[in-house]
Amino acid sequence: MDETNEPDERARPPALTPVDEAMLARVQTLMELTEAALRDVDAPYPIDDPGGLLRDALFVQSIADRLVDWAVIVERERGSSWSALGNAAGISKQSAHERWNTKVGAWVMMGRQRNGFGRGPADPAEHARRLDEWLAGLTGEAPGGISSLLPSLRDEAARQEANDRRAEVKRLEQRSEELRVECEAAYTAVMEAAGTDAAEEKRAVWAAKHFARAEAFEQLAAIEEPAAAERRRRAAEHRAVAEGILRGRATGDLTSRETVR
């Protein structure tokens, strides 16, 4: 979610399923939190370092905040509802959505996979191996504790299906963007044809573009469960605009007001 140095897409190793990718990032964050806390246990704080205790405590807190974000993302990938997450946090469904929906949205925009080398290797198998070794060193148990949490690490078919879905999402998003441009052009054509015999035909074309974009968002909703509600909302917006156009009630173009892809 806040990772850097994104590798070239062609060189990126095959990703795991979205839930396993999110789980891997969560465990990485747990490791960072554990290491930060252990460093502070016997850290000396000289008298000439005022604020040192607070500074380090806030650093640990920042990692804990990131851990919460990853926990929410894993839960959403597992199918947990906003109501369930609100109950777990002792807040309302609406409050949970307002608090974490942006983080989930950022994860969706990343392709629902870890991007970059900033927090662990891009190769999920290597990342899991390193975390296995870290946990084994901490607990004295045999390596493999983290890898056992990631079923798709050993399931090539599941990884292939997940990456096929990512490719389809990318295709649909590109098509949605093309349709956004086409909607704007169709709207302009309608305005230019106002009062002419061609006006009705131009409005039909304009409506069709919005219906097509609604269908693209419906297809995205079926593929991206964590963002399904937002995708369906966008589909409903475009469908309502299209129906308004056909009834002769639409006077502006939705695309000019869009702030979300």
Residue 6 has pLDDT above 60, yes or no: no
For residues 123 and 250, what is the distance between their CA atoms, to the nearest angstrom? Answer: 50
Query: To the nearest whole percent, how much of the chain has pLDDT over 70?
Result: 89
The arithmetic mean of pLDDT across residues 36-60, rounded, is 88
Tokens representing 67? 């851990």
Q: Distance between CA 61 and CA 207 in Å, rounded? A: 50
Cα separation, 247 vs 130, in Å, equals 61
Indicate the pTM of the whole model: 0.84
pLDDT (mean) for 49-59: 91
For 203, residues 6+ apart whose C-beta sits below 8 A from its C-beta are 190, 245, 246, 248
The pLDDT assigned to 48 comes to 80
Give the pLDDT of residue 257: 46
**Does the structure show a pLDDT above 50 at 261?**
no
**Residues 219-231: what's their mean pLDDT?**
94
Write out the DSSP string of the chain: -----PPPGGGSPPP--HHHHHHHHHHHHHHHHHHHHHHHHT----TT-TTHHHHHHHHHHHHHHHHHHHHHHHHHHTT--HHHHHHHHTS-HHHHHHHHHHHHHHHHHTTSS--SSTTS-SSHHHHHHHHHHHHHHHH-SPS-TTGGG-GGGG-HHHHHHHHHHHHHHHHHHHHHHHHHHHHHHHHHHHHHHTTSTTHHHHHHHHHHHHHHHHHHHHHHHHH-GGGHHHHHHHHHHHHHHHHHHHTT---S-GGGG----
Q: What pLDDT, in 10s, does the model give residues 156-171?
A: 999 999 999 999 999 9
Q: What is the mean pLDDT of residues 98-104?
A: 96
